[in-house]
Chains A and B, each alone.
Chain A
């Protein structure tokens, strides 16, 4: 990200959202809403004084509720740009009109409470969408007690906990600060489950193995269980990693946990979280006493996927992720020419696959830029100016706004870059002036005759 920001050919717009897109491949017009961060990005030195002095605290969403942040904050230390933002929902100046501590202590005079939302209008030739995924919220699966038991956490929370610059400085710990003696990692939470998501989230087997490895490294005395339906370790070096974790002494149990409870049935179960599971390899129900449970939750479409799809004229698959033009032959293009997708917004995948797709999308765009022209579909409609009576019936019928009226010649004109070749205008023209290339009336009539032979 830092090198993206410093590249002079790339304009990085953070804290911004695309609100409107019009036009077509080679000539899109994009409106971008830039939210006010109340800090002047050109003056701020990133010293962090404001964050120290700010009196208001709240949960840091980036730490998945494990850590706190101030009202003026950078979500994590490596954030690009290293310029904080003021959260008006927490800042006392916005709430009560008093404080301005950050402004007082900022030596660079970078705080600017008068910043307003701005709309930037951009002209671009192509668009690549990489909006990623949301993590499944496991609190709906009440049998696992997420939100009820302190030490039932999600994969994202474990990830933040094991991060050296995270809320616990990289220490794996229970709510009370002590290290866990035993940890169960539960696979497929919300994935491969007809009640939630039928698909396999593809990355959780591997990140669960990574968690086991991190636990072995950071808390070597802890017992670690992996509860899986089956292990899916397809990828370069992945099966080898699985074997290595088995050799590191992690316990693998084939079974999906049915319940997590703190109700002890025996003295040794006191104070423990009991994971109840059918071990399908030994055909026995087991009760595993553990201190911490990690739920490896599904990757799901982002909550705003529908509105993003509308803005960029994308379609979505039955599972809610964005639809590619062809699952095998054109996996990064979409049915809208010039709009590409990459990464988890298209479906769950790991970082190597995300990078491969993103590189492919970038290459597709670069090839168009270097050619200087774009190739469009040949199956478009064309108006015969001699036959057009100028009735304008077609003008409002086109769903793609491809038809304009030439006031001078008094005839309709079709923009081939916008035309999708649907042929609605062809069927509607009372003068028979429009031809649908590759789908002419003669061709279709002959086909109908042909299928009835």
Chain B
């Protein structure tokens, strides 16, 4: 069995989240193992969010903004 990492993507509402949305409306695929959490700005991200993700079993955390 190949390794399928679980990645939590914490995405900014205006750029990367809008990009993920655009991928959807343009019928483009992105990897389903990126699980998205929307924030209004990457400035909202606290270190605690990232630690929480790892604690709950994430293999990687992607902060985009």
Contacts and interface: CB of A to CB of B under 8 A. Distances in A.
Interface in A327-357: 335
Nearest to A423: B44
B48 A445 contact: yes
Contact of A424 (B37, B43, B52): B43
Contacts, number: 56
Contacts of B48: 441, 445
B58 A444 contact: no
A448 B49 contact: yes
A155 interface: no
B41 A451 contact: no
Contacts of A449: 52, 56
Contact of A379 (B40, B43, B46, B53): B40
A427 interface: yes
Interface of A: 335, 379, 397, 420-424, 426-427, 436, 439, 441, 444-445, 447-449, 451-452
Contacts of A422: 40-41, 43-44
Nearest to B35: A451
B40 A423 contact: yes
B contact patch SS: mixed
Interface string B14-50: 1000000000000000000001110111011110110
Nearest to A425: B43
- 6 nearest A-B residue pairs (beta carbon): A423-B44, A424-B43, A422-B41, A451-B35, A452-B56, A427-B46
Given A444-B49, A445-B49, A452-B35, A436 B40 contact: yes
A136 B45 CA distance: 44
B28 to A, nearest CB: 16
Contacts of A439: 39-40, 44
A449 B58 CA distance: 10
Contacts of A444: 37, 39, 44, 49
Given A448-B53, A449-B52, A441 B46 contact: yes
B39 to A, nearest CB: 6
Nearest to B50: A448
Given A422-B41, A423-B44, A441-B46, A451 B52 contact: no
B41 A423 contact: yes
Nearest to B53: A448
A445 B44 CA distance: 12
A451 B44 contact: no
Contacts of B6: 452
A448 B40 contact: no
Nearest to B12: A422
17 contacts: A335-B14, A422-B44, A424-B43, A426-B44, A436-B40, A436-B44, A439-B39, A441-B46, A441-B48, A444-B37, A448-B8, A448-B37, A448-B56, A449-B56, A451-B36, A452-B6, A452-B53
B24 to A, nearest CB: 15
B62 to A, nearest CB: 12
A420 B57 CA distance: 32
Contacts of B8: 448, 451-452
